[in-house]
């Protein structure tokens, strides 16, 4: 059901050029993303992902980020998140497996990342996720180009 709504929203946004190559995804105090799937239109040279935290909790306790990697690499990145720590937004610094990432945000905050789509392939499986410790099991989805 949620998948259908996301697709409907995407097809509506195709009508307005300004929103064509951008999406806003919300996260909350329940450790959830509001989308399980994001599809990038083929016409987009770059794509903006805006992560909003609509909850109240501080990023120390319920921080979220939006990270993109190939599906094969996601678990490996998450395994190093705790060691990387909050100062590195729970991501191993300079890791080439990370294709895009926002910073870790808390309740009421927003961050945007711009993805250069020329480095992405439609034949590759991509996953987006939150790397805050313990969130990966629930906070992830499929990213399609
Ligand atoms: Zn999270």
Distance CA 116, CA 1 (A): 30
User: What is the whole-number distance in angstroms between the Cα of residue 144 and the centre of ligand 1?
Assistant: 21
User: What is the whole-number distance in angstroms between the Cα of residue 82 and the centre of ligand 1?
Assistant: 13
What pLDDT is recorded for position 20?
83
Closest CA to 44 of 6, 18, 65, 66: 18
User: What is the whole-number distance in angstroms between the Cα of residue 13 and the centre of ligand 1?
Assistant: 26
User: What is the whole-number distance in angstroms between the Cα of residue 1 and the centre of ligand 1?
Assistant: 22
User: Which segments of the chain have a pLDDT < 70?
Assistant: 1-19
Q: What is the pTM of this model?
A: 0.86
Distance CA 122, CA 101 (A): 20
Give per-residue burial for 88-113: e unless 16+ CB within 10 Å, then b.
Answer: bbbbbeeeeebbbbbbbbbbebebeb
What pLDDT is recorded for position 31?
98
What pLDDT is recorded for position 3?
53
């Amino acid at each position: 059901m949620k998948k259908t709504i996301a697709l409907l929203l995407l097809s509506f946004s195709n009508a307005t050029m300004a929103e064509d190559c951008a999406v806003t995804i919300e996260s909350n105090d329940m450790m959830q993303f509001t989308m399980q799937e994001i599809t990038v239109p083929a016409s987009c040279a770059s794509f903006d992902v805006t992560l909003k935290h609509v909850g109240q909790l501080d990023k120390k306790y319920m921080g979220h980020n939006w990270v993109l990697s190939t599906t094969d690499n996601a678990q490996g990145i998450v395994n190093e998140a705790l060691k990387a720590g909050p100062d590195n937004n729970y991501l191993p610094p300079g890791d080439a497996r990370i294709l895009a990432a926002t910073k870790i945000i808390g309740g009421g905050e927003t961050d945007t990342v711009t993805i250069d789509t020329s480095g992405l392939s439609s034949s590759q499986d991509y996953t987006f996720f939150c790397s805050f410790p313990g969130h990966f099991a629930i906070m992830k989805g499929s990213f399609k180009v």
